Amino acid sequence: MKLYDFPPAVNAQRVRMFIAEKGLDVPMVEVDVRAGALHEEPCRSMNPFAVVPFLELDDGTCIGESIAICRYLEELHPQDPLMGRDPKERAIVEMWNRRVELDGFMPALHALRNADPVYAGRVLPGTRNDLAQLPEIVGRGKDALAILFDRLDTRLAGSPFIAGERFSVADVTGWFTVQVASRIGVPIPDTCPNAERWRREVADRPSTRV
Ligand SMILES: N[C@@H](CCC(=O)N[C@@H](CS)C(=O)NCC(=O)O)C(=O)O
């Protein structure tokens, strides 16, 4: 098994943090995304969506999508679960992960790709195109983050971690939402002390430094 990775890519970082939290040893292959390697062989055939990360199994099967990769690794290595210990916990972790991903992580990434000139010509991941960078998407992303931070603050007032008592993949997604948000000038506001307490605790985890 090999993980195709690009160190600066935040989705690849999500999977690397998950792997570190579980204490797994997964060989990595670095793909030079900025040099266009995803659009060339062998990557193009392995992952026609042309994004990282993706996982190549020993039988040649390729699995893309960060959460699908995490799910596969979790099922192979159920110890130290990060996606719930039983059906109820698994549903709750998935619920929170989706909320954070859809309501914060994705809007933040779209805002970043529409703001930073490095993404001109590839505002949608995995495509090369001439879609213009739109400032409206940046503004809407920032609005979405403000709403999400408020909701997380309420949640984290009564819960140590996003999905409950235990650190989970929802915290991994939350951590990278905060990282991307700070790159577009949206830190957790002073009005969200519970979210800030959570951020500081996650920042202390060695897995944030992989
Ligand atoms: N939904 C995918 C998104 C993957 C993705 O967007 N990856 C970015 C890096 S964070 C990428 O490969 N971008 C290629 C590009 O910019 O052309 C996942 O969860 O893995």
83's tokens? 């996606």
Strand ranges inside the chain, DSSP E = 2-5, 28-30, 54-56, 62-64
Radius of gyration of the chain (CA): 17
Q: Which of 94, 87, 97, 118 is nearest to 171 (CA)?
A: 97
Residue nearest to atom 9 of ligand 1 (CA): 9
Reply yes or no on whether the pLDDT at 129 is more than 90.
no
87-118 pLDDT tens trace: 999 999 999 999 999 999 999 999 999 999 99
Residue 4 Cα distances to 41, 63, 183, angstroms: 13, 10, 24
pLDDT of residue 86: 97
139-179 pLDDT tens trace: 999 999 999 999 999 999 999 999 999 999 999 999 999 99
* Same domain (yes/no): 50, 97: no
Q: Report pTM.
A: 0.97
Domain with 167, as residue range(s), is 87-209
Average pLDDT rounded to a whole number, residues 124-129: 84
Which CATH number do you get for residue 25?
Answer: 3.40.30.10
Which CATH number do you get for residue 132?
Answer: 1.20.1050.10
Reply yes or no on whether the pLDDT at 200 is more than 80.
yes
Is 82 inside any structural domain?
Answer: no
Is 103 inside any structural domain?
Answer: yes
161 strand-pairing partners: 164
How much is the mean pLDDT over the chain?
Answer: 97
CB 20 within 8 A of CB 202: no
* Same domain (yes/no): 35, 125: no
* Same domain (yes/no): 91, 8: no
pLDDT of residue 127: 76
Cα(50)–Cα(65) distance, integer angstroms: 11
Distance 159 CA to ligand 1 centre (A): 30
- Of 14, 15, 34, 52, the residue with max ligand 1 atoms within 8 A of its CB, to mutate for a pocket test, comes to 52
Q: Which residue has the tokens 């690397």?
A: 16
* Same domain (yes/no): 55, 101: no
* Same domain (yes/no): 64, 160: no
Euclidean distance between the first and the last CA atom of the chain, given in angstroms as a whole number = 19
Percent of the chain scoring above 90 in pLDDT = 96
Distance 11 CA to ligand 1 centre (A): 6
pLDDT of residue 128: 74
Total tally of structural domains belonging to the chain:
2
* Same domain (yes/no): 14, 118: no
Average pLDDT rounded to a whole number, residues 60-67: 98
CA 28 to chain centre: 17
